[in-house]
Structure 1
Amino acid sequence: MQLHNRDFQRNWRVDDTDDDKSPRGIDFEAIFAIVRRQWLVVAVCIAVALALGVVNIITAVPLYTASTKILIDRGNSEVVQQLSTIGGVTDDEPTVLSQVELLMSDTVALTVVDKLDLSNDPTFMTARPSLIQTIMGTVRSLVTVTGWLGSKPADIPTSEEKRRAAADAVLANMSVMRVDRTYVLEVSYRSPSADMAARVANAIGDSYLVDKLNSKYDATRRASDWLQDRIAELRQKALDSDLAVQKFRGEHGLVAAGSVLMSDQQLSELNSALIVAQSDTSKAQARLERIENIIASGQSDAMVTDLLDNPVANELRQKYLAASKRETEISDRLGSSHIQAARLRSEMAEYQRQMFAELNRIAESYKSDLDVAIAREKNLTQSVSQATGVSATANLTQVQLRELEREAETYKNLYQTFLQRYQEAIQQQSFPVTEARIITNAVPPAGPSHPKKPLTLALFFLLGAAAGASVGGWREYRDRFFRTGKQVQDYLGLEFLGMTPLVVNAAGRAKSDVQQKPGLIQKTSPLVTYVVEHPLSPFAETLRSAKIAADLRFSDKPCKVIGVVSSLPAEGKSAISINFAELLARQGSKTLLIDADLRNPGTTRAIARHADAGLLEALLDGQDLDRLLLSDDATGLSVLPAVVRQRTPHSSELLASSGMRGLLKKVSEQYDYIVVDLPPLGPVVDARAIADRVDGFIFVAEWGATARRVAIEVLNANPQVRDKCIGVILNKVDQDRLKLYHDYGSNDYYYSRYSRYYHESS
């Protein structure tokens, strides 16, 4: 039966939370519930904040704001950049933002102070604080520990300190803002005086322009001074490097004609002459070989060029040809043996001999020319070799020479460049142009700009709302108590039996003449008879739910022993025990109520304060139980009180003793229900000691007071009680506040519909 009931509870919880498994975003229902619960806190904080805002508006010193506008002029900047790159500014966004920082600098502020003599202006140096500022100053002085020990008299400030204080005041009350994405800066100053605001705003603009001019002049002056020193240094280095080049040329004989060294030019000429000499040698060799071949072959008709130009050779050839012609004619006419023909052939032989002699003479001339050409070629070859060695040496030396020449050229160019920059810097010093100008001068404002009443009230409203939301959120975060039955099921995993509303006790004792008789209980408060006097109330309905749960779970037992426990004292478990027992008795069941809280017997104090003996006497002295019982003649309820005259340190042993076992066994044969009011689970272990003798437990938790963590821990520490727990009752429920914790669709949400079934009157 117990396992079946757990499965029923688990399945019911799963079915109840099926809707929660659907994906959803923000839990607006939870947010609205928090708003319903904490709206009063938020409203109070907003009201207090608005009151402070009104006080601030009433007591605030009116302030006037004057503005001047400064344009970062691109035209002037371009003129300056054309004249010189020194001190030029590019008008990009970082540059504009840099000008904002310049306007907010101490340099401009001190210039304004000196220009307007603000450090000696009493109107400017003394400001009337508002009421809130006065209060804050007073509080600050009170919380300052050093002020408690007494303060030494303040020193008279020096002129420089006053000047710095005035500059700080200027910076504190001025603001600089860029107008949209333009190159315009709006400088605003706030002061209690409209004229003072306009004067200071205009002075800030003028000081800014003067500072720009001074900074440009200083920059160009510093640049020209640096350039002058650098030029002198570069001039000397250019001279030294040029002198080193010339000296190196002289030491290594690197004489040049124009851009070409003399050694290279001489080598080129010798190479050209050598080529010509080699050609001449080849030509002479060819002529000599040709004429020698002619002479060796004896060819009289072979000719050479020099032979044709030789008059002697030409004359001999003419004579040879004439004799040959005549010899041929005589031989043809008179025969070859004719004496005249023979004489002519003799002459022809002589002419031929003379011709070859002339050829030999020419050959000797060719041979002489060949020897001359060979000698010249040899000499030129030797000269070229010598010149090549000289040129190679010069080329190796030229590497160092070229390095010296490059260094000299570099210093020369640097010197010329810096000299030009120096001239430009000199001109720049006397050129009074800045890249900024004032386009709108400040005028005294017609009305105050502070305080802005709507904005101030809106700000205080938001601050109050934020403070209220923070306080409300903190209260919600700290509210970790049981408020709804769903929380009981989610955190404890136990069946929720219902809620018993908070009952305000009537003053004095309940009036009943019958209760004064011996052997009857005496009800000291209407609370202990509430279920009898209001049988149709929600209080009684919750206890009926507990009875049904017990009957369903222990239907096979003729007598049901039900213990009532809680986590902590003062949660109302004794009141629940008495009313639950009276409900059972009123419904016709024989019921016994046992006060087993031997350390703090709340049931006995409520209905049996007059008893002189009870549970302790039954267990320790073995007194007759019938004599110890008290009864209620209205319901027939029997009560076994606990009369504690001194502390009982061994109460858990008494409840776990065989005497207690025997007592429960005996009364189980006489009653249908035995309700045992047990001590709370947190402070003592008495409930754990008697857990095996109790059929089921009703766990009582005070609504809005019992922390969920405490209930979870005590139940986890007492598994026997948890396993036998019939369900949980939330006691002392504030019905007015309960509706603030209702979830849409929950059982409590529809309380207004089914509350007609409840009636507080009997």
Structure 2
Amino acid sequence: MKNIGLRIHDADFEAGRRATAEAATLGDLIAAFRRQYILVLVFAALGLLFGLAHHITTPKQYYTSATILVDERRSELDEQIIASIPFARNDTSLLNEMQVLKSLQLASDVVDRIDLHENEIFLYPPSSLARSVLSDAKSMAAGMLGAEEDAAAPTAADPDAQLQRRKLQTAARLQRDIRVERIGLSFSIEISYIGHDPDLAAMIVNSYADAYLDDRMNANADATERTAAWMRSRLDALEQDAANVLAEAAALRQSDPTQITRLRELAQRAATLDELHQTISARYEQISVQGSFPVSNGRVLTRSMVPREPALPKMWRTVSVTIMLGIMFGFLLAVLREARERFFRVSTDVHDHTGLPFLGHLPRINDAEMTGRAAPSAQAKPAEPVAKGKPPFALPPHMAFSVARPNTMFSQTIRNIHASIAFGAPEGGKIVAVTSMLPEEGKTTLAVNYANLVAQSGARCLLIDMDLQGAGFDWAPAGPGIIDVLSGDIPLSESIHRLDDTGLHILPSGSAADQPRSGEIGIQRKLKALMPELRKHYDHIVLDMPPLSSGPDAKAMIGLLDKIVLVCEWGATPRSLVTRYLAHEPEVFQKVAGIALNKVDVRKLGRYARPGWPESYLKLTPRMV
């Protein structure tokens, strides 16, 4: 039963975690939008500007159209053939007429009518600035790559051949640009064209309509002529056949008048040929008359007027397209930026990637806020084990921020760090190391502010600079330090400074030119002997340690430490670096009390939090920032 209960509990936990993950998807999108919306808006604005610039620099184009009606006139023979399927025949005929309108032959007729092959605007239309830039860039790229344009087709020596080739190229271009569409289910066809010259555009579509009607009329005339020629040849053949039949009958009568049956067949054959000759002759006369007066099977319903207002470019269409492209490009960059996000930002980043407690956010300190505030000063006072007669010195303003501005988020975070360290630490002195993964992440600032806050509370606190290879306490006066004490050259009491305002004792690293590293065996042995003595005199000992990535110092001193405070720079320390280091150094991991994020931009912090996370409820006040 116990196992069953565990399985049910695990199943419920997994279901809850799965539901939470699914519910958090929308929160992720909202948080990502808060972070990246400015980027998307910037590219939308760029798209708007580009659209306006493109609209201004694009040449105007004019739309023209003409409408023709295709008649349903047919010959008597056509009517007899299609009587049973008129609709199929009608649709097929209309599609055929549309193919005629789209043909290269009709385009060639229009070119000849209006000498389009000599029109410079049609042959070399103006282009927009964007198209010109792209064309120049393409030509430049082709030149840089050494690509040569295809050689032009060899020109013919005959000027007439050159002219025909130019006309054919112009007709092919016109065939590509003309639009032919059926109007609804009617037998009307719209011919449309968009060009840069309104007069030329109207002339083109009207010429197309006229050329189509003339082509249909000529086609009817040609068909009539071909039919008449066929009938004429057929009549000649019938006359010859009739003459042959009559000659055969006359010869048969003279040679054998008794073949009555044969003579009757010849007579019937002659009558049939005569009747067929008369019928074809009548039709031939009708067709000859029809050929003299050809009739077109269409008419122009609407001729194009010269347009006064340009149809293109449409500003709203151009601007909307460029804005959408800008939004899409901005969204793509936002997705790429989100995919590249690999730094600590919010508390859940610390929990999810390291499994360590989150100690809080430390906002970036603005020294201008400390103007006019007296920084804690340090001098020697007769207090064991501090030496006497040392000159006082003042801390930089940002090093005393926690005591000068106690109500800020920075100070509250330090108090939270102190409370977290207080749990589980041994009595009789707590040795806390403050370190970071990389240099310049603000560990020294945190260590000094933390030690000042602890000392101000009335506890005996000692701050030791153990970053022997770093900048250390460069604001401290030159003199002996921890290295001198460990080497036995200087007594401990002559190396410690005391801050008047908070009572903090400070032990610098020392003034030796070549200081040994804290990870060396000799230094470690002497530190092990010194730390128990310091525990007797101080309630808290804060060590400013070198960065973890700079060497094995922190690992070498792990046995002397009670807790480690790890400082990571907000938006700068890679999560993978911290995770891998702690995974390979379990001894260090066990001593880390948590991670504090330093140099936080508080005004941007809420953008990285999902709805419901602590950072999403952050309310800033002037006193907290």
So what's the TM-score if we normalise by structure 1?
0.59
Residue of structure 1 in register with 2:502 after alignment: 635
Is contact 1:566–1:681 with CA below 8 Å preserved after alignment?
A: yes
Alpha carbons of structure 1 residues 731 and 99: separation in structure 2 relative to 1, 3 Å: farther
Q: CA deviation at 1:589?
A: 1.6
Q: Deviations over 1:613-644 (max 9, x none)?
A: 32333344564333222222221222222247
Residue of structure 1 in register with 2:444 after alignment: 574
Is contact 1:508–1:524 with CA below 8 Å preserved after alignment?
A: no
Alpha carbons of structure 1 residues 169 and 588: separation in structure 2 relative to 1, 3 Å: farther
Q: CA deviation at 1:690?
A: 2.0
Q: CA deviation at 1:545?
A: 0.7
Residue of structure 1 in register with 2:203 after alignment: 199
Q: CA deviation at 1:686?
A: 2.4
Q: CA deviation at 1:535?
A: 1.6
- Measure the CA separation in 1 of the matches of 2:395 and 2:143: 57
2:435 aligned partner, one-letter code: V
Alpha carbons of structure 1 residues 108 and 674: separation in structure 2 relative to 1, 3 Å: farther
Residue of structure 1 in register with 2:416 after alignment: 545
Structure 1 residue 170 and structure 2 residue 174: aligned?
yes
2:614 aligned partner, one-letter code: N
1:36 aligned partner, one-letter code: R
2:431 alignment partner, one of 561, 564, 578: 561
Alignment of 1:188-587 (within 5 A): 188-203=192-207, 441-506=303-368, 514-515=377-378, 519=390, 522-523=393-394, 525-554=396-425, 556-587=426-457
Q: CA deviation at 1:576?
A: 0.7
Is contact 1:519–1:631 with CA below 8 Å preserved after alignment?
A: no
1:682 aligned partner, one-letter code: S
Aligned residues: 528
Residue of structure 2 in register with 1:31 after alignment: 29
1:705 alignment partner, one of 572, 579, 593: 572
1:39 aligned partner, one-letter code: Y
Alpha carbons of structure 1 residues 108 and 132: separation in structure 2 relative to 1, 3 Å: same
Alpha carbons of structure 1 residues 514 and 587: separation in structure 2 relative to 1, 3 Å: closer
- Measure the CA separation in 2 of the matches of 1:100 and 1:524: 91
- Measure the CA separation in 2 of the matches of 1:78 and 1:703: 92
1:721 aligned partner, one-letter code: V
Alpha carbons of structure 1 residues 448 and 592: separation in structure 2 relative to 1, 3 Å: same
Alpha carbons of structure 1 residues 616 and 29: separation in structure 2 relative to 1, 3 Å: same
1:591 aligned partner, one-letter code: C
Alpha carbons of structure 1 residues 26 and 582: separation in structure 2 relative to 1, 3 Å: closer
- Measure the CA separation in 1 of the matches of 2:401 and 2:598: 14
Q: CA deviation at 1:148?
A: 11
Between the two proteins, what is the percent identity of the paired residues?
29
Q: CA deviation at 1:537?
A: 1.7
1:567 aligned partner, one-letter code: M
Residue of structure 1 in register with 2:229 after alignment: none
Is contact 2:142–2:148 with CA below 8 Å preserved after alignment?
A: no
Q: CA deviation at 1:544?
A: 0.9
Q: CA deviation at 1:44?
A: 2.4
Which region of structure 1 is more displaced relative to structure 2, 101-110 or 28-37? 101-110
Alpha carbons of structure 1 residues 639 and 23: separation in structure 2 relative to 1, 3 Å: closer
- Measure the CA separation in 1 of the matches of 2:416 and 2:126: 71
Is contact 1:561–1:696 with CA below 8 Å preserved after alignment?
A: yes
Structure 1 residue 722 and structure 2 residue 589: aligned?
yes
1:479 aligned partner, one-letter code: E
Is contact 1:595–1:601 with CA below 8 Å preserved after alignment?
A: no
Secondary structure of the residue aligned to 2:427 is coil
- Measure the CA separation in 2 of the matches of 1:179 and 1:23: 56
Q: CA deviation at 1:595?
A: 1.7
Q: Which runs of 5+ in 1 are unaligned?
A: 1-10, 222-426
1:636 aligned partner, one-letter code: G
Residue of structure 2 in register with 1:66 after alignment: 64
Is contact 2:375–2:395 with CA below 8 Å preserved after alignment?
A: no
Alpha carbons of structure 1 residues 562 and 512: separation in structure 2 relative to 1, 3 Å: closer
Query: Over alpha carbons, which structure has the higher Rg?
Result: 1
- Measure the CA separation in 1 of the matches of 2:33 and 2:92: 47
Structure 1 residue 589 and structure 2 residue 459: aligned?
yes
Q: Deviations over 1:43-66 (max 9, x none)?
A: 322222222222222332211112
- Measure the CA separation in 2 of the matches of 1:57 and 1:39: 27
2:452 aligned partner, one-letter code: E
Is contact 2:462–2:540 with CA below 8 Å preserved after alignment?
A: yes
Q: CA deviation at 1:549?
A: 0.8
Secondary structure of the residue aligned to 1:636 is coil
Is contact 1:520–1:631 with CA below 8 Å preserved after alignment?
A: no
1:194 aligned partner, one-letter code: P
1:495 aligned partner, one-letter code: P
- Measure the CA separation in 1 of the matches of 2:521 and 2:66: 93
Q: CA deviation at 1:440?
A: 5.5
Structure 1 residue 689 and structure 2 residue 556: aligned?
yes
- Measure the CA separation in 2 of the matches of 1:208 and 1:598: 96
Q: CA deviation at 1:469?
A: 2.4
Secondary structure of the residue aligned to 2:520 is helix
Residue of structure 2 in register with 1:737 after alignment: 604
- Measure the CA separation in 2 of the matches of 1:473 and 1:493: 27
Is contact 2:469–2:517 with CA below 8 Å preserved after alignment?
A: no
Q: CA deviation at 1:168?
A: 5.9
Structure 1 residue 665 and structure 2 residue 527: aligned?
no
Secondary structure of the residue aligned to 1:669 is helix
- Measure the CA separation in 2 of the matches of 1:690 and 1:697: 11
Structure 1 residue 751 and structure 2 residue 622: aligned?
no
Q: Which runs of 5+ in 2 are unaligned?
A: 1-8, 156-161, 227-286, 381-388
Residue of structure 2 in register with 1:312 after alignment: none
Residue of structure 1 in register with 2:244 after alignment: none
RMSD: 4.7
Secondary structure of the residue aligned to 2:367 is coil
Q: Deviations over 1:408-463 (max 9, x none)?
A: xxxxxxxxxxxxxxxxxxx9xx9999999976654433421111122222222222
2:57 aligned partner, one-letter code: T
Q: Deviations over 1:520-563 (max 9, x none)?
A: 67445210000110122211111111111111132x43222211
Alpha carbons of structure 1 residues 106 and 760: separation in structure 2 relative to 1, 3 Å: same
- Measure the CA separation in 2 of the matches of 1:25 and 1:713: 29
Secondary structure of the residue aligned to 2:596 is strand
Residue of structure 2 in register with 1:652 after alignment: 519
Residue of structure 1 in register with 2:383 after alignment: none
